[in-house]
Amino acid sequence: MKVYNTLTRSKDDLVPMTPGEIRMYVCGVTVYDLCHIGHARSAIVFDVIVRYLRHRGYRVTFVKNFTDVDDKIIRRANEEGVDARVVSERYVEEFRVDMAAIGVLPGDIEPKATEHIPEMLALIERLIAGGMAYVVDGDVYFEVRRYPPYGKLSGKNLDDLMVGARVDVDERKRDPRDFALWKAAKPGEPSWDSPWGPGRPGWHIECSAMAMRYLGESFDLHGGGEDLIFPHHECEIAQAEAATRRPFARVWVHNGFVNLRAEKMSKSLGNTLNIREIVKRHDAVALRLWLLGTHYRHPVEYAEERLQESARALDRLRRLVAAAPDEGGSIPDDPELRPFVERFHEAMDDDFNTPGAVAVLFDLSHELQRVPDSDRAAPSFRRGVATLRSLARALGLLERTVSAAGPSAETEARIVALVSERDEARRSRNWKRSDELRGELTNLGVTVEDSPSGSRWTWKGA
C-alpha cells in the first residue's frame, strides 16, 4: 500500500511501526458553529481511509480531536453572554449529529483540548527546559530558529517565511515567526493555572500533546485538510520533535478543498454550505459517492446536479443489492469475482484512489445487472452481490445514514425493494401501483419524498 506523504512529497510505502497496526491522528473541528461541506469532505476522506485499512485487516487506533478553546469560541460565547464551555459543548453535539447524518464513524478516541491541559503544560515545560521555548510576561513562545528543520512539511524557507495564519505579531517575541505555546489570561477568557501564571494553550500545542498522549511520541499517520499544513501541522512537528528528538508522524495525509464557484469554501469567506442543509435536499450517501468520485488530494467543485447524478447511480446499486439477502461475512472466494476484488484493492492501495475503486463497483454492478431475474436466486449471483456489498462497505457506501435507530436488516431490505418498485411504477406512469406501494411503505413506518433524482425514504418506525 502506497500513500502520498506530504512530508516527502512522494508516494511512500505504508509500513506500520507495529506490524498489523496503524496508529492515526486527524485534526478535528473547532467547535463554534455548524459544520459545512468542507468539513464533510475531510471527515469522509479519513472515514474511508480508516474503513479501508480495517477492511485490509489492520488494527486501527483512530484519534480525532475537538478544539474546544479558541478565539472564535470565546468571541461567540461573549456575544451570547454565556460561558465558552456552553458554546463548545453545544457544537460538539451538533458535530456528532452531522457526522451520523453523513455516515462518518466516530473516532476510537475523541479528545477535547480542555481536558488535556496537564499534557500540554508538561510538553511546554520540556521545551522550556530544552531551550526551545521562552517565557514573556506569562506568555510562552516556541523559538523557531532553534529548530532548523522548521518548514520541512510545507516547503517554506525559514529565512523567507512570512508570518502565517493565527500568528500574532508581538514585539516581545525574539522573532516574529515564533508562535505561542501558552497565552496569558485576559479578561473575559477562560483560563487555567500554569507555572507561568493563569492562561490558556496556543492552538498548535494541543494536537501534539493529545496525539502523543494516545499514540506515543512517534506514530504512523497524521491527517487533516491541506489548509492545516502551514502553520498548524508545521508547528506540531516542530514542538513535538524538539521535545522528543524523535520523528513525530511518519506519514502526513492532506485532503483538498471543496470549492464553490472556483473559490475555497470557508466560514471566513461567508460562502459555506452546512451539512444540515445539504442532507435535507440530497441523499447523504449520494454526497459521499460524489465526493469519492474525486481523488482526496484534488479540489472538488460543488454542484447540485452532480449530487443528483450520484443519487441516481446510487439508486441503481441499491436496487441491485436488494435483490439478494445480506448474509454478512467476508468476501466470497469466487474465481469469477476475484478480478474485481483485485482491481478494487489495487486502486485503493494506490494512495486511496477512490475514483478507481468506485469504477470497479459499477463495473461489477453492470455484470450483475445482466443476470436475468430467473437466475437471481442462484449462488453465483448471491456471491456477486455479497462481493459488491463488502467492497462498497469498505467505502462506507450502501449504508443508511440516520442518527436514530433504524429498521432491522430484513425490514430495510424490504423497504429498499418497495421503494425501487415504486420508482419503476412512477417511471411507467402506473400511478395506481405507485399509490399502493406508498401505502405499504407507510405501514412499515416509512415516509417517501419524491425528487427529480428519485425517491428518498425516511424510517419513522412502525
Mean pLDDT of 296-301: 97
The candidate with the shortest Cα–Cα distance to 92, out of 66, 63, 115, is: 66
DSSP 8-state secondary structure symbol assigned to residue 113: G
pLDDT of residue 165: 37
Mean pLDDT score across all residues of the chain = 90
- The more confidently predicted of residues 352 and 444 is 352
Per-residue confidence band for 408, with pLDDT thresholds at 50, 70 and 90: low
The candidate with the shortest Cα–Cα distance to 177, out of 233, 235, 128, 222, is: 235
pLDDT of residue 67: 98
Per-residue confidence band for 378, with pLDDT thresholds at 50, 70 and 90: very high
Chain-centroid distance of CA 168 in Å reads 29
Architecture of domain 305-396: Up-down Bundle (1.20)
Report the C-alpha gap between 368 and 152 in whole angstroms: 49
The x, y and z cell numbers of residue 455, run together, are 425517491
How far CA 298 is from CA of 264, 286, 370, in Å, comes to 12, 19, 34
Mean pLDDT of 281-288: 92
pLDDT of residue 399: 73
- The more confidently predicted of residues 40 and 436 is 40
Q: What is the pLDDT of residues 312-341, one digit of tens each?
A: 999 999 999 988 888 777 899 999 999 999
Per CATH, domain 2-259 is 3.40.50.720: no
Report the C-alpha gap between 122 and 319 in whole angstroms: 56
The set of long-range contacts for 342-346, using a CB threshold of 8 Å and a minimum separation of 24, is: 344/391, 344/394, 345/56
pLDDT at 462 over 80: no
Q: What is the pLDDT of residues 108-131, one digit of tens each?
A: 999 999 999 999 999 999 999 999
Report the C-alpha gap between 134 and 137 in whole angstroms: 10
The x, y and z cell numbers of residue 2, run together, are 502506497
- The more confidently predicted of residues 372 and 158 is 372
Report the C-alpha gap between 200 and 74 in whole angstroms: 12
Chain-centroid distance of CA 110 in Å reads 13
Angle between helical axes of 284-292 and 354-369 (0-180°, round to 10): 120
- The more confidently predicted of residues 344 and 425 is 344
Report the C-alpha gap between 229 and 239 in whole angstroms: 15
331 in helix, strand or coil?
coil
pLDDT at 271 over 80: no
How far CA 451 is from CA of 278, 341, 448, 459, in Å, comes to 14, 34, 10, 17
Q: What is the pLDDT of residues 145-184, one digit of tens each?
A: 999 999 999 999 877 775 443 445 678 899 999 999 999 9
- Tell me the H-state helices in 81-142: 84-101, 117-129
Per-residue confidence band for 269, with pLDDT thresholds at 50, 70 and 90: low
Note whether 205 and 248 are within 8 A (CB): no
Highest mean pLDDT among 147-151, 160-164, 264-268, 421-425: 147-151
